[in-house]
Structure 1
Amino acid sequence: MKLWDYINSGKVYMIAEMSANHGGSIEKAFEIVEAAAKAGADCVKVQTYTADTITIDSDAPAFQIHGGLWDGYNLHDLYKEAYTPWEWMEPIKKKCEECGVDFLSSPFDPTAVDYLENIGIEAYKIASFEAVDIPLVRYIASKHKPIIMSVGMATEEEIREALDAIHSQGNDQVAILKCCNVYPTVSSDLNLKTIPDMIQKFNVPVGLSDHSMGYAAAVGAAALGARVIEKHFCISREYKTADSAFSMEPSEYKSMVENVRAVTTALGTIHYGPTDNELSSGEYGDRRSLFAVEDIKAGEEITTINVRSIRPNAGLKPKYLDDILGKKAKADIKRGTPMAFELIE
């Protein structure tokens, strides 16, 4: 699995979240895996739950959704429509292996964890809403697999509680994802500046689970040190599912990956002075230096008329101009000669 190798090397791990975008078709699920792999995803993620493992069938007010993308839905009905049949998990995992991408899933109760263990899952994703379910977090951690945990809406205290639960099981392979659980997320709710603060406060790799449109947030997060980017992925938003409205199409995801890779490369390392490429390209030679700009006779005084700071970089640095002004030339100096202390009395 690429996950921890990427995180340790500083490369950003790109997750394509399938979620409900298969629309109830395993063929569409396979198509999503193939398209995500071609678009540059490192991993395809699904969710392992049923309507009855994540909630109960109730028409009580607490189970009704008011506002947002799923306004008017009953929770049980929404999850019944959006879930991925468990018997698909192993075939999807095999399709991921064929396409060279990792398989990841979010379990939403212990039975889902047990099921995923039985099919040989290599890592777990914990969803934002489940990050406060400490018994579930602890149970997932007890499997000693790498964990990626979204912490949308979680307070600092809740994040520490979840991390403590993971560490209590002797599991130190955990990354946390900044997240806003509004679908789609508006830019003003992203608060990406929290990412460097999370890195410092929690001393674990940090990433972004992003529900905003486009990829500006993903690129910004990578520039701020994110090591994991998760985005919902679909073949086309025209194929309507519970999650399609805020999901990326393949061409968009490909552009995101390219731009995240580009900004990660551009971050480089802390470096001052010319790079090797600057030296080899000759551009370093275009820096300014001191030259004789008129013929100077032996014994003649060096002035701002006969010596100036010009390109290229072959003579004394310009900062030495005051040191040589008023001094005399040791010998004749031809116009265009780079100045050197050896030429001055």
Structure 2
Amino acid sequence: MVNKTIKIKSGKVAKIIGGKEIFIVAEIGKNFIQTEEERPIAEYLRNAKELIDAAAEAGVDAVKFQTHELSDEQLNVPIVGPHAPSFDRYPWVRRNTEATPIRFWRAIKKHAEKRRLVFFSTPMSRKAAEKLDKVGVPIWKVASGDMLDYALLDYMFETDKPMIISSGQVSLAELDGIVGHIRARGIQFALLYCVSHYPCPKEFFNLGTIEHFQEKYPEAVIGFSDHSIENIDIPLAAVKLGAQIIEKHFSLSRDLFGTDHKVSMTPGEMKSLVEAIREDQYKKVNHKLYYGKKTKELEGAKNHMRPSFNKALVAARNLPKGTTLTKKMVYAMRPIKLIKGLPSEKFFEVIGHKTRAALKKYQPISWRVLKK
């Protein structure tokens, strides 16, 4: 029998993922940003600690944030996110980067551990992962939009830390490719079934995929990242079908300024969900309402967010003609639909090739500019 439990330790806080208890994650993300006008870092830190306190009171196991590093994530081109059409991505990512220097992450990690919670965060680029590695996260989370960012994944693979990956914006074939890399390195991992719509209507869910994942990836802990609102029956149905991780966005109020507040659970709602899971109320839920088909293709390239959130390869610095590409010379940056470069899943393929001409920093990398 496959031993798929993942033991993690955040400071002195130890937890088991895939054990007898469901691992419940409050996805705070960047919900510490709550006003349209920019505020001091100290205020963001207070907001983050208040959210951690509320999550602890609700009874969750972990708090998860999102970590941005503008310089290797978002190219300076005008584009709005499809899930938040009023937000120009470049200034939004810049604001998130400037709001969260490494001292911010160290402070909230310490506060989370003080409240007996595991702290981790989703890095949105390789440099963001490097920052979090210095902070000491015990596990990696890969966002659905970064599942094909092999510049980022490569860094995670090298650390040998366990990983949580998400299925929201990949096809089954793309997911198999990622899992193949993880398996080859013997890394422990969890896989979250996810539908990347914000908020997600109940008719979009196909929770039968959870059972399919359990059979297809027996060594993985299977969970559910839920973007529904005001209906705890959907995550409860996921638990009934075998999900061992439940991740929900978390905010003090859905009326606050920001991209994710509107799809978040409030403290009272999170407390109700945690109690329902711990008290086995999921057994009473009619899971067939959300089951769909056991075997069904994932959204993959059809997902409306991919053109804005997937990445293309660009030069990480000025490169003279004839330069042999190394990993540190290549960034994977958003948005692929406005960058005429190779998709980020080609990262490993371009390493070792020489440039045909000099490339400027952030210039797209295509086969046209490389010697084969």
State the TM-score, normalizing by the size of structure 1.
Answer: 0.71
Q: Evaluate the alpha carbon distance shift between residue 2 and residue 118 of structure 1 in structure 2; reply closer, same or farther with a 3 A threshold.
A: closer
1:109-124 alignment, distance < 5 Å: 109-124=125-140
Q: Evaluate the alpha carbon distance shift between residue 8 and residue 58 of structure 1 in structure 2; reply closer, same or farther with a 3 A threshold.
A: closer
1:162-311 alignment, distance < 5 Å: 162-171=178-187, 173-203=188-218, 204-214=220-230, 215-263=232-280
2-structure distance, mates of 1:17, 1:133: 21
1-structure distance, mates of 2:121, 2:282: 29
Unpaired runs of 5+ residues, structure 2, are 1-7, 34-38, 285-372
Kindly indicate whether the alpha-carbon contact (under 8 Å) linking 1:13 and 1:228 is maintained by their aligned counterparts in 2. Answer: yes
1-structure distance, mates of 2:140, 2:251: 21
Kindly indicate whether the alpha-carbon contact (under 8 Å) linking 1:223 and 1:264 is maintained by their aligned counterparts in 2. Answer: no
Kindly indicate whether the alpha-carbon contact (under 8 Å) linking 1:106 and 1:127 is maintained by their aligned counterparts in 2. Answer: yes
> What is the Cα deviation at residue 91 of structure 1?
0.4
Question: Which residue pairs with 1:73 in the alignment?
Answer: 87
Q: Residues 273-320 of structure 1: CA distance to partner in whole angstroms, max 9, x if unpaired?
A: xxxxxxxxxxxxxxxxxxxxxxxxxxxxxxxxxxxxxxxxxxxxxxxx
2-structure distance, mates of 1:150, 1:8: 16
Kindly indicate whether the alpha-carbon contact (under 8 Å) linking 1:134 and 1:165 is maintained by their aligned counterparts in 2. Answer: no
- Of the candidates 156, 163, 176, which is equivalent to residue 147 of structure 1? 163
1-structure distance, mates of 2:174, 2:20: 27
Q: Residues 221-259 of structure 1: CA distance to partner in whole angstroms, max 9, x if unpaired?
A: 000000111111111223332211111110100001111
Kindly indicate whether the alpha-carbon contact (under 8 Å) linking 2:276 and 2:282 is maintained by their aligned counterparts in 1. Answer: no
Q: What's the secondary structure of 2:193's corresponding residue?
A: strand
- Of the candidates 30, 42, 52, which is equivalent to residue 20 of structure 1? 30
Question: Which residue pairs with 2:345 in the alignment?
Answer: none
Kindly indicate whether the alpha-carbon contact (under 8 Å) linking 2:69 and 2:128 is maintained by their aligned counterparts in 1. Answer: no
2-structure distance, mates of 1:111, 1:235: 29
- Of the candidates 12, 17, 21, which is equivalent to residue 7 of structure 1? 17
Question: Which residue pairs with 1:328 in the alignment?
Answer: none
Paired letter, 1:239:
L
Q: Choose between structure 1 and 2 for higher RCO, CA contacts under 8 A separated by at least 6 residues.
A: 2
Unpaired runs of 5+ residues, structure 1, are 268-345
Kindly indicate whether the alpha-carbon contact (under 8 Å) linking 2:240 and 2:282 is maintained by their aligned counterparts in 1. Answer: no
Q: Evaluate the alpha carbon distance shift between residue 14 and residue 27 of structure 1 in structure 2; reply closer, same or farther with a 3 A threshold.
A: same
The count of aligned residue pairs is 261
> What is the Cα deviation at residue 191 of structure 1?
1.1
2-structure distance, mates of 1:11, 1:141: 27
> What is the Cα deviation at residue 163 of structure 1?
1.1
State the TM-score, normalizing by the size of structure 2.
Answer: 0.66
> What is the Cα deviation at residue 81 of structure 1?
4.3
Query: What percent identity do the matched residue pairs reach?
Result: 30
2-structure distance, mates of 1:144, 1:30: 29
2-structure distance, mates of 1:187, 1:265: 17
Aligned-residue CA RMSD (Å) = 2.2
Question: Which residue pairs with 1:57 in the alignment?
Answer: 76
Q: Evaluate the alpha carbon distance shift between residue 65 and residue 136 of structure 1 in structure 2; reply closer, same or farther with a 3 A threshold.
A: closer
Question: Which residue pairs with 2:56 in the alignment?
Answer: 37
> What is the Cα deviation at residue 265 of structure 1?
8.3
Q: What's the secondary structure of 1:58's corresponding residue?
A: coil
Larger Rg: 1
